[in-house]
């Protein structure tokens, strides 16, 4: 599997990003680092702006765009104290993920808000080549595009969002954090389905708790999959 240990993130567990240190990521460590975290689904985007500081990351602002692709999408944006910052825009136009992320960018780029210095994305399934949370490069993007078959309802939307965000924030670090990384620590016996395969090669199917699976041809190492 391809991928180096991501310097920016640890695990995405229990619905949140654990530690968001950006040490060794090339970001100036002279002060607090502000990290925008995006959880993009097939019809919604949830986002939070964190202050990493020197201790545990602290959420400053959070919001969501729901009902993407519908006649009207929902929009929420609030600070850490729950104060509504949406400007009364509870309904917005967001027919595509790109239109939805534009609303997010407008919200977090408002005057007086901290400058975004890193962006992290939750990705459901990275396929068989990526096995670590990591900084997004052109090669990583190529691997993600090849892996959409593993999560066809979720990965295409997040890839659109990532591309749009890299274009809008070209000078900050972008990181992908994968749901399946936790399962890399599981034993082969726990992840392999109980199906017969001969010793000369054959299909090896591994399951994940998120409902996806990876299957690889044992003879030449190529892989494919679905969900």
What is the C-alpha to C-alpha distance for residues 45 and 66, in angstroms, rounded to an integer? 7
Report which of 43, 65, 11 is spatially closest to residue 156, judged by C-alpha positions. Answer: 43
How many degrees, rounded to 5, is the angle at CA 225 between CA 223 and CA 227? 165
What is the C-alpha to C-alpha distance for residues 43 and 101, in angstroms, rounded to an integer? 12
User: 179, 198, 215, 222: which one is catalytic?
Assistant: 179
Report which of 98, 42, 33, 46 is spatially closest to residue 77, judged by C-alpha positions. Answer: 46
Q: Let me know if 28 is a catalytic residue.
A: no
Other beta carbons within 10 Å of 220: 8
Residue with tokens 């210095």: 117
- In sequence order, the 6+-apart residues with CB closer than 8 A to the CB of 33 are 22, 27, 51, 52, 117, 118
The answer for 53, left when phi > 0, alpha when psi is -120 to 50, beta otherwise, is: left
Yes or no: say if 153 and 206 are a contact pair by the CB < 8 Å rule: no
Q: Known catalytic residues?
A: 179
């Amino acid at each position: 599997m391809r991928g180096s240990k991501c310097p920016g993130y640890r695990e995405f567990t229990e619905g949140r990003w654990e530690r968001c240190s950006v040490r060794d990521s090339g970001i100036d460590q002279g002060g607090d680092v502000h990290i925008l975290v995006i959880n993009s689904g097939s019809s919604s985007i949830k986002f939070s702006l964190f202050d990493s500081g020197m201790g545990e990351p602290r959420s400053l602002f959070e919001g969501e765009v729901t009902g993407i692709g519908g006649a009207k999408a929902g929009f929420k944006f609030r600070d850490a104290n729950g104060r509504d910052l949406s400007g009364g825009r509870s309904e917005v136009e967001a027919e595509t993920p790109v239109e939805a992320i534009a609303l997010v960018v407008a919200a977090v780029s408002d005057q007086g808000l901290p400058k975004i210095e890193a962006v992290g994305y939750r990705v459901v399934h990275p396929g068989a080549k990526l096995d670590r949370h990591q900084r997004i490069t052109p090669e990583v993007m190529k691997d993600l595009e090849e892996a959409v078959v593993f999560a066809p309802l979720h990965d295409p939307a997040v890839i659109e969002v990532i591309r749009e965000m890299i274009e809008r924030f070209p000078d900050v670090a972008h990181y992908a954090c994968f749901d399946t990384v936790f399962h890399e620590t599981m034993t082969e016996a726990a992840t392999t389905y109980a199906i017969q395969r001969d010793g000369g090669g054959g299909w090896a199917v591994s399951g994940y708790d998120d409902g996806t699976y990876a299957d690889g041809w044992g003879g030449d190492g190529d892989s494919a999959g679905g969900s």
